[in-house]
Amino acid sequence: MSHTLSLRRQLSAVLCGGFCGTITRYWLSQVIQAHLGKGWPYDIFLINITGALLLAFITTLADATFLIGPTRRLFINVGFLGAYTTFSSLALGDVQLATAGHWLSALSYLFMSLSVGILAVLCGNALGQWVINRRKALALAKSLPPDHSSIHTQE
């Protein structure tokens, strides 16, 4: 059975998720910069990579309609992760490195962001598939009658 979410519910999910994603991004960025410094955009890199992993994981579960319904998907994928990760921050960090004359850092940051981001998506998808398969295996095991072949009787 398919039902459409009201516009109010859709907007509320995106708004609330976006608020939470923005606050999380700000807080995490502060923590990362305090520990790793501001010489290289570690905060943007780590936030975008974890966001890519989570986006793939959540999308995989949602596509399988496993624990992630349409409202949760809007809240997490569009709202939270949409605010948590941004391409514009990646581009800005790269341009700032390049204009400061750090061409090697700028190129390595861009290459690492793209390659590790793609790897994170692949890992998130694999993790989602593992969770789905694990859930299916547990459901199947619960539906089977007990196996008596391993019970040994003494004669």
> Where does the pLDDT of residue 143 fall: very low under 50, low under 70, confident under 90, or very high at 90 and above?
confident
Evaluate if residue 50 carries a pLDDT over 90: yes
pLDDT at 2: 44
- Looking at per-residue pLDDT, the higher value among 85 and 66 belongs to 85
Where b means 16+ CB within 10 Å and e means fewer, 33-57 reads eeeeeeebbbbbbebbbbbbbbbbb
**Mean pLDDT, range 40-52, rounded to an integer:** 95
Q: Which two tokens stand for residue 19?
A: 């608020």
Sign for the pseudo-dihedral over CA of 90, 96, 99, 102: negative
- Looking at per-residue pLDDT, the higher value among 4 and 99 belongs to 99
Quick: pLDDT tens for 76-132: 999 999 999 988 888 988 999 999 999 999 999 999 999 999 999 999 999 999 999
